[in-house]
Chain A
């Protein structure tokens, strides 16, 4: 399953399939990006980050891809499991900024079908 942009807020994916969650960011000065996962009733939890000097970074079952040319970020989840059902947020910041604020995207709700 795949979501596009910040304005398609839901993604339904079959258990075992790969998920792709997309995020379009707006600040061309942003050079550090984070993905957070928020399960129902809980606070957001850090998943993975990437700096702008990389275009790909892998974690455990997750991969983040960064395309600076089109200001696009994606999170790929391999072999999606029921525990992956959550809201996923991308966040960005220009590391040289002095306002120390992460800007969060609108979030994509991922629902895993059994």
Chain B
């Protein structure tokens, strides 16, 4: 069983569209994250949620909106996609806020054309 799963794995879309990426973890963890990895492999945190509560909200355009319907799911919705949004987006989870061993999903490669 996959611990942290994301869908879709690949997403190709045009500028201006709205898209969502879904994430689910079956580890029973309290904390979930979204990271963005650019073409140089630099990993930057975007958001974190703990028990459905937003904890970290980095300087991310408000076109990005996370939503956590329950503590096993953290989805990412992106409005008005731009070329610069092209990247790999990783979902991750950890046991709680202070458990820094994070379990990452396989990533969603977003390409905006």
Question: Which residues of A pack against B, CB within 8 Å?
Answer: 32, 34, 38, 41-46, 49, 87, 89, 91, 93, 95, 99-102, 104, 106-107, 109
Contact = CB atoms under 8 A, between A and B. Distances in A.
A34 B101 CA distance: 8
Interface of B: 4, 40-45, 48, 55-56, 58, 90, 92, 97-98, 100-107
Contacts of B41: 38, 87, 106-107, 109
A46 B56 CA distance: 21
25 contacts: A34-B101, A43-B4, A43-B90, A43-B92, A43-B104, A43-B106, A43-B107, A44-B104, A45-B104, A46-B101, A46-B102, A49-B100, A87-B41, A89-B43, A91-B100, A100-B48, A100-B56, A100-B97, A101-B45, A101-B56, A102-B45, A102-B100, A106-B41, A106-B42, A107-B41
